[in-house]
Amino acid sequence: MTAPRRRRQPRQERSRATVERIVAAGRAVLIERGTEGLTTNHVAAAAGISPGSLYQYFGDKEAILDEVVTRYSDELEERVTGAFVATVAVRDPTEAVRRIVLALVDALAEHPALLRAVAQRMPRAGDDRRAAFARRVDALLTSTLVARSGGATRYPAGTVAWLVVRTVESLAVGFVLEDPPLGREEFADEVTALVLGYLARVLDPAP
């Protein structure tokens, strides 16, 4: 049996605030000290709380990290989704893709340290969170593709979406975390060219 992720449901307002403080502290420690420096004592100290209190609400250290990552993922997803939505009215595909790419880059660039910490966790096999996240974005893109192309695709849209999403994601992450040889605008232009070049080739019924 694994430890319970949550020990107690906070009932009073006070304890709900404590949970928030713990999560915020976890995020802060992750940003300041990285994955290595994320110890329960550090988190407790940063939250202005005793180590024991952590375990009132979280089964173990991992559960805290999980919560932090989940919220961060949700935040990112919200912004990306927002960019998609804000873009449905944009006729020009180039402009649409460009905007989405920029939204992603900007979202990621807000907390490079957090992104780095999360990226380190990402490649885990059984990580449902990342998989679920990617799948939702896949679905988003898939439906967009189908809508824009009128359903006339040579390949299953899911496959195309998988490639495009991972391409854009990893390029954006790389752009934020490494020091790339191009600027933000230029990056967006290039990625847009990359994506559209591929989509044009793949979506057109007649190659």
Give contact residues for a second copy (rule: CB under 8 A).
116, 119-120, 123-125, 131, 134, 155-156, 158-160, 162-163, 166-167, 170-171, 173-174, 177-178, 180-182, 186, 190-191, 193-194, 197-198, 200-202
Selection from DNA, a second copy, none that 205 binds (CB < 5 to 8 A by kind) is none
Q: Which residues are CB-contacts of 66 (< 8 A; sequence separation ≥ 6)?
A: 5, 129
DSSP string over 58-76: -SSHHHHHHHHHHHHHHHH
Residue 173 CB contacts under 8 Å (≥ 6 apart), including other chains: 108, 115, 119
Of a second copy, DNA, none, which one does residue 18 interact with (CB within 5 to 8 Å by kind)?
A: DNA
Nearer to a second copy, 41 or 94 (CB): 94
Please list, residue by residue across 34-49, b when 16 or more beta carbons sit within 10 angstroms of its beta carbon and e when fewer do.
Answer: eeeebebebbbebbeb
Least Å distance, CB 112 to DNA, is 23
Q: Verify binding: residue 17, DNA, rule CB under 7 A.
A: yes
Q: Does 55 bind DNA (CB under 7 A)?
A: yes
Which C-beta is closer to DNA: that of 11 or that of 91? 11
Within positions 61 to 90, which residues make up the interface with DNA, using CB under 7 A?
A: 61-62
Q: Please say whether the beta carbons of 56 and 5 come within 8 A.
A: no
Token pair recorded at residue 150:
């009128």
Q: For residue 3, state whether it binds DNA (rule: CB under 7 A).
A: yes
**Nearest to DNA of 12, 150 (CB atom):** 12
Give alpha helix (H) positions in 47-203: 51-57, 61-85, 93-109, 112-121, 128-149, 157-177, 184-203
- Is the Cβ–Cβ distance between 152 and 205 less than 8 Å? yes
Question: With CB cut-offs between 5 and 8 Å by kind, which of DNA, a second copy, none does residue 13 bind?
Answer: DNA
Q: Which stretch binds DNA (CB under 7 A): 11-19, 66-74, 122-130, 182-190?
A: 11-19
Concatenate the DSSP letters of all residues of 165-186 into one string.
HHHHHHHHHHHHHS--SS-HHH
CB of 1 to a second copy, least distance (A): 20
Q: Smallest gap, in angstroms, from Cβ of residue 16 to a second copy?
A: 33
Residues that bind DNA (CB under 7 A): 3, 8, 10-15, 17-18, 38-41, 48-56, 60-62
